[in-house]
Each structure stands twice: as structure tokens, then as C-alpha cells.
Amino acid sequence: METRDMLWSGWGDPGLAAPLPEPVAGLLRDMLGVRPAERPPADLDGVGVPACRLDDGDLTALAKVVGDSNVRADAETRVRHTRGKSTPDLLRIRAGEAADAPDAVVLPGSHDEVLAVLRACAERRIAVVPFGGGTSVVGGLAPSADGAADGAGTGGGGFVALDLRRMDAVVSVDETARTAVLQPGLRAPDAEARLGERGYTLGHFPQSFEWASIGGFAAARSSGQASAGYGRFDDMVVALTVATPEGTLDLGRAPKSAAGPDLRQLVLGSEGAFGVITSVTVRIHPVPEAREYEGWRFASFGEGAAALRRLAQDGPLPAVLRLSDETETVVGLADPAAIGTPGGAGASAGCLAVLGFEGTARGVAGRRTEAAEALRAAGGEPLGTGPGEKWAHGRFNAPYLRDSLLDAGAFAETLETAAFWPDVPRLYDAVRSALIGALSGAGTPPLLMCHISHVYPSGASLYFTVVSAQGADPVAHWDAAKRAANDAIIDAGGTISHHHGVGTDHRDWYAREIGPLGAAVLRAVKERVDPAGIMNPGVLVPPAAEE
């Protein structure tokens, strides 16, 4: 495979893995009760994959479509396509457990090959999991039998991961429409590099940027760190092509239309449950002439949130706009060694906001000045560009840090939600209470941090990070905490995910969010385009029994 592979047992480039400095490890031990794991992680060779459930006839039928070399059933390839990158996913694979491994990995090279693979799989009742960057943190790559119709999928027929890495072209760039046609397997950094050669950018920089794919962004309704300036990925998409077991959907003849429901918005967020996105036409922007990042301090999270709301509603809106709560501010501002010393240097840190302005030099200067007026009026204290640059420099680092924490015996995970502004304080309190309650039982309280990661005129998202001791059974321990947090989110009026998606992990709460009739509508759509129920079974679409 030409595309580089991510660390199978963690995040990112295997060469970048590094242990935590010993002083940090010591503080984790003292403050959070973190103890070194009893067993080192398994080696790749030591991961046990189940026997392949596909027979020779299945593999031959698939190879007939994509060619022999593009059907892989070796153990390493299967392990590398097992689940995604949530912390429970990593803990399981590090323990050598790969029960959810695909039975084979298929690499199609074109829309027509995808269609043919889906037809062959529907006929043979083989489930299909579309696989882009493999960065799902919500169980989006681990199908389950209860989502499959008619005995398909993991009910015994096995499943294939449909790895789209061969479909990685920038098909065309239209400078008049300021759009580009991208294939789904294109990785985000490659998209940026190739658009950048022509002077353009997508402006889409989620934390998964280094590894995620264009098709994944669309399928998972991704939202990048600069969403205030460039929009979410679902705002960027103007046209889509989707291969389903029942044929092709070609959507989007104009930026906006009054011709019926916007079916593009039915595909965005469909997480492979309806079909495979094989082409995405996105808006592009000239590479900004200027980029300026800066920090502001607010006395409290509430005061800072009000200031962000002011910018979201009345402008000027920076491209990046985020606000850490008190704990995250202390942890982020301080030297890593200061984690857990809130009575020390961090006590008067307040809450840090990061603003990033991008555009023409004149536009950036004008908006910065105007925003500064508004933020000062809202109680903000300017901290200069230092905190902004620091954030921008480390913007994709958190998942690497998680690997180091896991290596050190700590547990680290994130979750996120969004709501309308009046519900945000209640949502913040409810999720914190749920997590602290559930995680404190078995040891020291967790370190719990939060930031507002995306803002809109009518509301905002909240992104929580939890660090704790792993304990004896961290997967089960987190499962209970995550369930409590999900309940709290739904009860407090939030959405079960602002940018991570539904997958299998959020499906039961998603069913509550959209209600029984909403779930029934999704099932009706799925049954029409995927009557055999082979597409990512168990992901997204609530089964009828749950209504």
C-alpha cells in the first residue's frame, strides 16, 4: 500500500511515539493514583485475529472486481483495520484482542468497483465497513449483528473493510466556482498539499487531520478547529456521489436549491450505513495571506462563554475560536509538571480563549482590532500571540499525548456535545457531574477538563477530556462513565455528538435524540438503499427493537 500506515496500537506516526517525562508520570501517580500497567502492550504478531469467515468463493468474487492484490486477508492487514481510535479501541488492541477484525480488506479503485463490490457482498451477505483514515472514536468501524437485516453481516457471514486509499485523487479544481472534486480516500494533509500547490486550502483542520480522509469527513459530518471561519465539513460540501447496494446517488447541481429536501444532508453523517461516498465536491479558499493566533484571559468560563457568544452573534468572527475552562487552562498554561497543582501558579489563570484570524493582511488586522474591542468590553484581558501560537503549534498533538498516557498506565479519553446557548451551562454541569460521579468510585477523582471548541450564533459545543487511573478494568470502568455522560447529555438537551459522530457507541442515545419516528425514517432509507443490510450494520441506525 502506498499510503503510510498509522501506528496499529495507537495514534499517528510510529516514529513519533515517546514516553512521558518521569516527573509527569510521578505526578499522575501521586494525584490520580496512576500505576504502571501490569502487562506491556502486545506485539503486532501477538494479536489474535479470529479465523476468516469468508470462503474461497467470496474472496474470488471480490478479487474478480478489484484484482487479486487488492483483496487482503493476512493477519497484519486485518489487525490494522480493526476498530478505530477510541481509548477503549486502543486498550483492546493493545491487549491483543482483535475479535472485531474484518475478515478481509478490499481496496477498490473506482466508483464502479465500489458498486460492484457492494453488489457482490449483498449477494453473498457479506457486511461492508467503509474505511477511510480509520480514525473513528465512536465505534464506527466495528459492525454488530443487531444492525444487520436478514442475517447479513456479523451474524455469521463475516465482513470486509472497504479501504478507500486507492481512491485518493484530486479529480479537478474549479477556480471559477472555487470548488474541488476529491476522491474519498484522499487524506487531509495530501488534499491540503495538492490544493496548496494551486494556492488553495480547504480550511478543514480537525484534530484527526493528519490521518483522516475526505470521505470520512463527509460520512462523519466532521467539524474542524477553524470551523468558525471556514465552516464545518457539511457546510463545505456542495455535491456528492454515493455508491449504494441499490445503485448510485448523484446529488448537488447548485450551491443551494429549493427543489425538495437537501438530500446531500441525508448522506452527510450517514457513516457508511447507506453506502460509500465515492466523490465529494467541496468549497475551497485562497490560502490566507495572513494567520494570527492570540490568547485572551477571562475571569470565568461563563464570562468567557458570553464573550465568545458576542463574537458569534455580532462578529467579527475569527476562523478559530475556543475557550478552556479553569482546569484545562491551568493544565494547558502550566508546564506539564504543574498538572495537579491548581493551588499554585495556575490559581489565578482564569479561562484561556484562543482566537485565530485568517485572511488578507488588511482583513485580519481589521477583525483583530474589532474583536479586541468586543472582548475587552466583555471583560477579557489580552495575552498576546504567545498562547495562540502555542495552541496552533500543538493543535494535532493530543492523540499522541494520549498514547504516552496509556503507556504510563493512565486512562485518557474525550467526549463532546453541543447545545443552544441557554442550555450550555446546565449541560456543562450535568456532564461533569456524571463523569466525576461515575469515575470517582473506584479510586481518586479524575482530572476533568473542558473547552468550548466550536461556536455558532445560537449555540456552542463542549469538548471534555478525562484523565484518570486505568484501574483493573479500564474498558468497563469507562463504559459506565460514558453511559452516565451520554444520559446526562440527552437529559440536559444536548446532542449526543457535535463532531465525533454516532457509530455504535452513541447509537442508543442517538435513538433518544431523534425519537422513534426519526429512527424509523432512517431505517426506511436504509432499507431502500441497502435491503440486505450489509452496509456498516449496527452503526448509526437504531434497530426497530429500540424504538
Residue 205 assigned ligand-binding role: no
Is 217 labeled as ligand-binding? Answer: no
* 459 assigned ligand-binding residue: no
Residues 398-437 that bind its own copies (CB under 8 A): 417-422
Strands (E), 53-165: 71-72, 104-106, 127-131, 159-163
Which of 46, 51, 254, 343 binds its own copies (CB under 8 A)? It is 254
Q: Is 249 in the site for its own copies (CB under 8 A)?
A: yes
Distance of closest approach, residue 404 Cβ to its own copies, in angstroms: 27
C-alpha to C-alpha distance for 157 and 409, rounded to whole angstroms: 37
How many residues does the structure list for the chain?
547
CA–CA dist 492, 494 (Å, integer): 6
Q: How far is the CB of 381 from its own copies (least distance, A)?
A: 24
Among 184, 326, 510, 530, binds its own copies (CB under 8 A): 510
Quote the least distance from Cβ 266 to its own copies, whole Å: 5
Q: Is 264 annotated as a binding residue?
A: no
Rule CB under 8 A: is residue 176 a binding residue for its own copies?
A: yes
Binding mask 454-473 for its own copies (x = CB under 8 A): x-xxxxxx------------
Strand 447-455 and strand 320-324: pairing?
A: antiparallel
Identify the three-state secondary structure at position 412.
Answer: strand
Compute the least distance from the CB of residue 397 to its own copies, in Å.
Answer: 22
C-alpha cell at 397: 498533538
What residues from 189 to 218 belong to the interface with its own copies (CB under 8 A)?
none
Neighbours of 124 (CB within 10 A): 18
Taking CB under 8 A as the rule, does residue 372 contact its own copies? no
Binding mask 279-318 for its own copies (x = CB under 8 A): ----x--x----------------------x---xxx---
Rg (CA), the chain: 23
Residues 530 and 246: beta-carbon distance below 8 Å: yes
Please state the φ and ψ torsions of residue 521, each to the nearest 5 degrees.
-65, -45
Q: Is 494 in the site for its own copies (CB under 8 A)?
A: yes
Stretch that binds its own copies, among 56-64, 159-167, 389-397, 510-518 (CB under 8 A): 510-518
Angle at 541 between CA 530 and CA 51, to 5 degrees: 70
**Of residues 143, 269, 356, 543, which one binds its own copies by CB under 8 A?**
269
515 is in an annotated binding site: no
CB of residue 454 to its own copies, shortest distance in Å: 8
- Which residues are paired to 353 by β-bridges? 296, 323
- Contact status: 263 vs its own copies (CB under 8 A): yes
- List, as one string, the DSSP characters of 223-290: --TTHHHH--HHHHEEEEEEEETTEEEEE-SSSS--SSS-THHHHTT-TTSS-EEEEEEEE-EEPPSE
Select from 3, 265, 341, 444 the one that contacts its own copies (CB under 8 A): 265
Query: Binding site annotation covers 453?
Result: no
CB-neighbour burial class of residue 377 (10 A; exposed 0-12, middle 13-18, buried 19+): exposed
Shortest Å distance, C-beta 11 to its own copies: 20
The single residue of 230, 428, 463, 510 carrying the catalytic annotation is 463
Residue 138, SS3 per DSSP: coil
| Catalytic site includes residue 456 | no
Catalytic residues: 463
